[in-house]
């Protein structure tokens, strides 16, 4: 079993159990906070069949107002979720890493108003419908994981140009303004 760590960049081949891991975690989340969220989706590379990824199930949930998030953080603590301070406005980021699990979980809490234009959702949808782009992205991630095995920030920065190019294309196709892929 490969243990994930936020400090180690470990990209592996697609695991067909990731959708089931998401579904199981989704059920836990909905039982704990379902009445407070309006949407909950699997985002990130583990949501793309065949795509190499870090063994992290990324999820995004929408709240009417981000201020509701403080109560949800407390409700999610018994499930193993911990709030990670990122400095991003209008987003709360929680991580669940249990020592006996092969995957970890990230939960991004965002506002319902921003839901339709969230870069993470747009990127996922694009990669689902453009297998060549998904393949290129997976190969880039595998190469960068070898180049930056102990520097998650450098790994993430090195993916920026490709992700930004895809997001600019998607936003052009949808008539949306360009925005930086990395929130401040």
| 39 Cβ contact list (under 8 Å, min separation 6) | 60, 61, 62, 112, 115
Distance, CA of 89 to CA of 80 (rounded, Å): 23
141 within a domain of the structure (yes/no): yes
Domain that holds residue 168: 18-174
13 within a domain of the structure (yes/no): no
The count of domains in the chain is 1
Tokens representing 145? 């994981």
pTM of whole model > 0.95?
no
10 within a domain of the structure (yes/no): no
pLDDT > 90 fraction of the chain, expressed in percent and rounded: 82
**DSSP letter assigned to residue 107:** E
**Torsion angles phi and psi, residue 27, rounded to 5:** -60, -40
102 within a domain of the structure (yes/no): yes
pLDDT over 60 (residue 85): yes
- CATH number for position 167: 3.30.460.10
Select from 64, 54, 60 the least CA-distant residue to 93: 60
Please tell me whether residue 101 adopts helix, strand or coil conformation: coil
User: Which CA distances in Å does 33 have to 76, 93, 109, 182?
Assistant: 8, 15, 11, 27
In our burial notation (b when 16+ CB lie closer than 10 A, e otherwise), range 94-111 reads: bbbbeeebebbbbbbbbb
83 within a domain of the structure (yes/no): yes
pLDDT (tens digit per residue) in 16-58: 999 999 999 999 999 999 999 999 999 999 999 999 999 999 9
6 within a domain of the structure (yes/no): no
Mean pLDDT for the stretch of residues 125-135: 96
- pLDDT bin (cut points 50, 70, 90) of residue 7 is low
- 3-state SS track over 39-91: EEEEECHHHCCCCCECCEEEEEEEECCHHHHHHHHHHHHHHCEEEECCCCCCE
56 within a domain of the structure (yes/no): yes
40 within a domain of the structure (yes/no): yes
Asked if residues 55 and 16 have their Cβ atoms less than 8 Å apart, the reply is no
């Amino acid at each position: 079993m490969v243990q994930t760590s936020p400090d180690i960049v470990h990209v592996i081949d697609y695991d067909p159990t990731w959708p089931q891991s998401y579904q199981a975690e989704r059920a836990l989340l909905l039982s704990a906070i379902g009445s407070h969220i309006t949407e909950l989706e699997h985002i990130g590379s583990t949501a793309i069949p065949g795509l190499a990824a870090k063994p992290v199930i990324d999820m995004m949930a929408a709240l009417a107002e981000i201020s509701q998030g403080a109560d949800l953080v407390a409700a999610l603590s018994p499930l193993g979720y911990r709030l990670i301070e990122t400095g991003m406005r209008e987003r709360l980021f929680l991580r669940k890493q249990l020592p006996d699990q092969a995957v970890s979980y990230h939960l991004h809490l965002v506002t319902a108003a921003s839901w339709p234009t969230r870069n993470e959702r747009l990127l996922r949808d694009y990669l689902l419908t453009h297998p060549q782009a998904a393949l290129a992205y997976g190969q880039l991630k595998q190469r960068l994981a070898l180049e930056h095995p102990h520097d998650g920030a450098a790994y993430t920065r090195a993916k920026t140009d490709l992700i930004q190019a895809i997001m600019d294309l998607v936003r052009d196709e949808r008539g949306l303004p360009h925005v930086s892929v990395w929130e401040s």
